[in-house]
Amino acid sequence: MPSGMFRISSLTDGTQPASINPTRPALQKVYLGGPIIEWAVRRMDANVYSLSIGGYPHTSVVDGNLAATVFEEQDVDWLIERQEFQDAFTIASSSDPSIVWTVASSNGSPAAVSLKPLVSTASIPPRSQLWRLDPMWD
């Protein structure tokens, strides 16, 4: 997959995009269905990518959740792998590919994007761990 600007959407929860709020604290958790949805995806090596959103230059894992951050020392590179049978992608930490982006159950509030172990089931992986990356055009 080439570098570019993408909308990253979960296959669960009606394909809502991973997003952040327009407020700019030093870091904020990524959740589904917010107003800022444009992700910069920059290829680093083979299937390894650097991801950023909403002017935040880095993404990280904070308390088990995906976060956008200004702190370079927290930056995580991501392994984006196509899952042919599901026509979607998994997004894993490049330092630990067994931990992937996962839609957390929401109980009525916006669903957070957390990092959980990749689930191996008959429908490998489950929809909560599958993502679409759609190019965004000007």
Contacts 24+ apart (CB under 8 A), 87-94: 88/11, 88/130, 88/131, 88/132, 89/130, 89/131, 89/132, 89/133, 90/118, 90/125, 90/129, 90/130, 90/131, 91/8, 91/131, 92/118, 93/61, 94/48
pLDDT in tens, 51-76: 999 999 999 999 999 999 999 999 99
Q: Report pLDDT for 25.
A: 93
Whether the pLDDT of residue 90 is over 90: the answer is yes
Average pLDDT, the chain: 91
Q: Report pLDDT for 85.
A: 82
Q: How confident is the model at residue 102 (pLDDT cuts 50, 70, 90)?
A: very high
Mean pLDDT of 106-130: 82
Q: Report pLDDT for 1.
A: 83
Q: Which residue has the higher pLDDT, 94 or 85?
A: 94
Classified by CATH at the fold level, domain 4-135 comes out as: Trefoil (Acidic Fibroblast Growth Factor, subunit A) (2.80.10)
pLDDT in tens, 3-33: 999 999 999 866 789 999 998 899 999 999 9
